[in-house]
Amino acid sequence: MISVITPVYNGEQFIEACIKVIIDQNCPDVEHIIVDGASTDKTVDIIKLYADIYPHIRWISEKDKGQSDAMNKGVAMAKGEIISFLNVDDFYQPNVLNRALEIFPRLPVPSILLGNCNLWDSKTKLVAVHKPANFTLSSMLQGLNETNFPTNPSAYFYHTCLHQQVGMYKIDEHYAMDLDFLLRAVQVAKITYINESWGNWMRLENTKSMTLWQNEERGYQLIDGILRYYRKDLPLLQRWLITIIYESNILWHRKLKWKFKYYIKHYLLTPQNILHKLRSNFKKLLSIGT
């Protein structure tokens, strides 16, 4: 069974369409877990209306510590062996849930199964199709792009038991919790990519993700910090090589303004950081030699 988890807060504009997306999948082995963060609009009324009719809908409504906390609550409630997240303003392609159920019995445990994701700026404007055929830790750490990062959870599924090995979503991460989780998960899970369109990400104005990227510097610094954190545990030479590729990608795409500010603040204004890193790397080289 697939447990589709939808975290929501004050989502009356989207929640009904989201519920109908699961209904229209015509999947007999699915539960739709809706985790509401004590909405103050009509979200809960809409959920109740459908939950009274459709037994596959399970839901709670209570205050939480943010989206990651709501996602973790959904995982804890899940009865299915497979998990997918569907945000209220996103949707699946037709028959995707049955397609996933057809493939999963052939996969080792734990696995991540992913397809392509359509990016929409409106209901009629398709701006890109992400095809993450190169979904690996090394590739992602070199810089996220449309070939290595499943940009929206509507396009991937994974075994519920994966959380037992890599942990839950970080509660203090409110924007890139999926990136942080996937960087852990890809290190232990078997990855299977299917070149089919499965998910749809609606990049709508005033939504959470788009609010973040209205400040490009803030968005790139957030991703940069997470990728830097996971690069630090790599072997020294591999880390240096990946860092060079990553910085070159930033240069190639001309995302330089925020990077320049970052280096001024963290290196030129605090030169002791450089000395600390040099000493640390030198000690690691010595340990490798012995």
All structural domains of the chain, each given as residue ranges with its CATH number in brackets, are 2-213 (3.90.550.10), 216-289 (no CATH)
Main-chain phi, psi angles of 118, to 5 degrees = -85, 135
- What pLDDT is attached to residue 124? 80
- What pLDDT is attached to residue 290? 45
Is residue 67 within 8 Å of residue 7, measured between CB atoms? yes
DSSP alpha helix (H) spans, 30-161: 43-51, 67-77, 96-103, 137-141
Distance of CA 36 to the CA centre of its chain: 19
Distance of CA 201 to the CA centre of its chain: 12
Q: What percent of the chain has pLDDT over 90?
A: 68
Binned at pLDDT 50, 70 and 90, residue 156 comes out as very high
Q: Average pLDDT of 224-247?
A: 89
- What pLDDT is attached to residue 283? 57
DSSP string of 256-280? -HHHHHHHIIIIIS-THHHHHHHHH
Number of Cβ atoms within 10 Å of the Cβ of 219: 18
Q: Average pLDDT of 75-81?
A: 98
Compute the CA torsion angle 135, 155, 231, 274 (nearest 10 deg): 130
* Contacts of residue 19, Cβ cutoff 8 Å, sequence gap at least 6: 32, 34, 46, 47, 50, 54, 57
Does residue 268 have a pLDDT over 70?
no
Q: Average pLDDT of 149-159?
A: 96
In which residue are the tokens 């590729």 written?
245
Q: Average pLDDT of 232-254?
A: 81
Indicate the average pLDDT of the chain.
87
* Contacts of residue 211, Cβ cutoff 8 Å, sequence gap at least 6: none
- What pLDDT is attached to residue 181? 97
* Count, residues in the chain: 290
For the four alpha carbons of 28, 81, 49 and 34, in that order, the dihedral sign comes to: negative
Is residue 90 within 8 Å of residue 98, measured between CB atoms? no
- What pLDDT is attached to residue 84? 98
Short-list 150, 198, 206, 173, CA closest to 14: 206
For the four alpha carbons of 213, 214, 220 and 221, in that order, the dihedral sign comes to: negative
Report how far apart the first and last C-alpha atoms of the chain are (Å, whole number). 51
More confident residue, 236 or 159: 159
Binned at pLDDT 50, 70 and 90, residue 138 comes out as very high
Q: What is the pLDDT of residues 14-56, one digit of tens each?
A: 999 999 999 999 999 999 999 999 999 999 999 999 999 999 9
In which residue are the tokens 């070149």 written?
195
Strands 2-8 and 30-36: parallel
Binned at pLDDT 50, 70 and 90, residue 287 comes out as low
Q: Average pLDDT of 254-262?
A: 54
Q: What is the pLDDT of residues 172-230, one digit of tens each?
A: 988 899 999 999 999 999 999 999 999 999 876 666 665 655 566 677 778 888 998 99
| 38-42, 92-96, 185-189, 260-264: least confidently modelled range | 260-264
Does residue 6 have a pLDDT over 90?
yes
Number of Cβ atoms within 10 Å of the Cβ of 277: 11
DSSP alpha helix (H) spans, 110-235: 137-141, 162-166, 177-185, 208-213, 216-231
- This prediction has a pTM of 0.84
